[in-house]
């Protein structure tokens, strides 16, 4: 490596970001572009992807809309992709339901998007030789996946727990190809969803006190951890679940 180039730089790398239309995915796309990457943005909503595209630094970025809950669309996405040096598997959603109210379709929907889709996407990227040697794959998991969950969050916790477990297996299998696989496990991140009025400001402030650093995370703070895992700075890191939680898990 050129001694003048930071090991955290993504210059010369092409990075695919799923769920890039909002929240952590959008922040990841923006910060990757600032770090020098060419970014491929994907999600279902073309208009919101276009908004994300306009926030990026640099040139040569691509928007490829795709419903990752649709196998045919995943195949089309992979066919249109250039060779990648990194992937951020970020697309996902949650639905809060107490255990006795969980229904089969809701559970299947969450597993399909949060767990099955990113695994099948990775499988197809490998099959179609879209990952360059030395690539890095980053999954967005959750602190909930590691047992720090909440009442009513069972479906999401199960879906992300599977992701965090899968990371270890994928890292082991792909190590022979020089491909690294890791996950980030954020605590509560303020993506704007919390300001929709369903939770009072007083409740939010009380909940923040569960975090030793006294606040929720910012999307860009998760993105910076992803950049570390995508960059050469983490070239000896694979199979890990990186906790980013403002100290929540040490309480």
CATH number belonging to domain 14-243:
3.40.50.720
Alpha-carbon radius of gyration of the chain: 18
Q: What are the residue boundaries of the structural domains of the chain, listed by start?
A: 14-243
In three-state secondary structure terms, 67 is coil
Give the contacts of 243 (CB within 8 A, at least 6 positions apart): 143, 146, 185, 249
Task: List, run by run, the mean pLDDT of 10-residue segments along the chain (251 residues).
Answer: 80 98 97 98 97 98 96 97 98 89 95 96 98 97 92 93 98 97 96 64 88 96 98 98 96 85
The whole-angstrom separation of Cα 38 and Cα 58 is 8
Which among 156, 211, 216, 248 is annotated as catalytic?
Answer: 156
Per the annotation, the verdict on 156 as an active-site residue is: yes
In three-state secondary structure terms, 80 is helix
The answer to whether the pTM exceeds 0.85 is yes
- DSSP bridge pairs for 217: 189
């Amino acid at each position: 490596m050129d001694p003048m180039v930071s090991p955290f730089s993504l210059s010369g790398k092409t990075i695919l970001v799923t769920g890039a239309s909002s929240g952590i995915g959008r922040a990841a796309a923006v910060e990757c572009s600032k770090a020098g990457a060419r970014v491929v943005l994907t999600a279902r909503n073309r208009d919101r992807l276009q908004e994300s595209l306009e926030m990026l630094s640099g040139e040569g970025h691509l928007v490829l809309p795709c419903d990752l809950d649709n196998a045919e669309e995943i195949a089309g996405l992979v066919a249109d992709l250039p060779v990648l040096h990194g992937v951020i598997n970020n697309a996902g959603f949650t639905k809060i339901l107490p255990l006795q109210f969980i229904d089969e379709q809701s559970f299947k929907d969450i597993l399909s998007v949060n767990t099955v889709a990113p695994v099948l996407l990775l499988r197809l990227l490998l099959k179609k030789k879209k990952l360059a040697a030395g690539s890095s794959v980053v999954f967005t998991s959750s602190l909930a996946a590691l047992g720090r969950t909440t009442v009513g969050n069972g479906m999401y916790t199960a879906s992300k727990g599977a992701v965090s477990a899968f990371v270890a297996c994928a890292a082991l299998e792909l190590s022979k190809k020089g491909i690294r696989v890791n996950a980030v496990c954020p605590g509560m991140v303020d993506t704007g969803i919390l300001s929709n009025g369903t939770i009072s400001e007083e409740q939010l402030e009380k909940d923040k006190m569960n975090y030793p650093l006294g606040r929720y995370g910012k999307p860009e703070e998760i993105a910076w951890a992803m950049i570390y895992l995508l960059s050469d700075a983490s070239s000896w890191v694979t199979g890990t679940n990186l906790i980013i939680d403002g100290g929540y898990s040490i309480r």
